[in-house]
Structure 1
């Protein structure tokens, strides 16, 4: 199984970075314009990349919070994009662990995305998220500047 690990140093305190990932308004500043999240074990962690509710798969429908420790960690399940139709139909999900590490007045954010299975379609999904997570994390950094 493959795992992606991404890190960014963010020019903000841990509590502020944590709030970006754990509130609707926070996610709207760097990830997407629509989401439905409940930060509790088993709570929704759904981020939508289109506001058109007539589309069946708008983003991370069905993703759930696995665990969290305020200002330290957040873990949730994660879907492949709707363009990977065969994987979406299989309901296979990866897992994301965010670690928020204090560094003076900055935060080291470590994102670990695990659970990529074997096969050509999974390889494409891995390569997709290898780029997509960079984009998301770069937007997060920009949201603090």
Structure 2
């Protein structure tokens, strides 16, 4: 049971791709500090609290698949309250970002998979539903008006 979020960003596909794959651009709208090694098996780490990189981060997460400039798949960890549910190596979830060029911009689709039927997993899934909507709004704001806010501060 995947969680799917979508938004249309009035920006071209190449810029939206760069916003997801270049560290300096990701840090403008998603997390204040990021580490991206754009290759399969490369790091995809976001630090929502750069002072403590083990807390509130995706430290240790890796890129699983790249099909530039349309698909990016990476491992995901949730915030600290969900550590037991989704932040251990055996229970990491996955994010698939799909980009599709439209006549008026780019359709961004996020598919967050790896949830279980357990109550704690479903609680984490519900939290992420709100968080992805906020994050996509930040991406849209940044690319359309240069006003992106950091998600999940």
Contact persistence 1:78–1:95 (CA under 8 A):
yes
Corresponding residue of 1:96: 95
Work out the CA distance in 2 between the residues paired with 1:19 and 1:66: 17
Deviation at residue 58 of structure 1 after TM alignment: 3.3
Contact persistence 2:9–2:140 (CA under 8 A):
yes
Deviation at residue 90 of structure 1 after TM alignment: 3.7
Corresponding residue of 2:61: 63
Contact persistence 1:32–1:49 (CA under 8 A):
yes
Report the CA distance shift for 1:79/1:107 in structure 2 as closer, same or farther (over 3 A).
Answer: same
Contact persistence 1:81–1:88 (CA under 8 A):
no
Deviation at residue 98 of structure 1 after TM alignment: 0.7
Corresponding residue of 1:74: 72
Deviations 1:51-70 (A, max 9, x none): 113x5323111111001111
Please, which runs of 5 or more residues in structure 2 have no aligned partner? 146-153
Corresponding residue of 2:151: none
Contact persistence 2:66–2:73 (CA under 8 A):
yes
Q: TM-score, normalised by structure 2?
A: 0.88
Contact persistence 1:63–1:76 (CA under 8 A):
yes
Corresponding residue of 1:32: 31
Find the residue that maps to 1:28 and give its secondary structure: helix
Corresponding residue of 1:7: 6
Deviations 1:60-110 (A, max 9, x none): 111110011111110001112111132256431111111110012400111
Report the CA distance shift for 1:88/1:123 in structure 2 as closer, same or farther (over 3 A).
Answer: closer
* Count, aligned residues: 143
Work out the CA distance in 1 between the residues paired with 2:62 and 2:17: 17
How large is the Cα RMSD of the aligned pairs?
1.4
Q: Which runs of 4+ in 1 moved over 6 A?
A: none
Q: TM-score, normalised by structure 1?
A: 0.93
Report the CA distance shift for 1:119/1:139 in structure 2 as closer, same or farther (over 3 A).
Answer: same
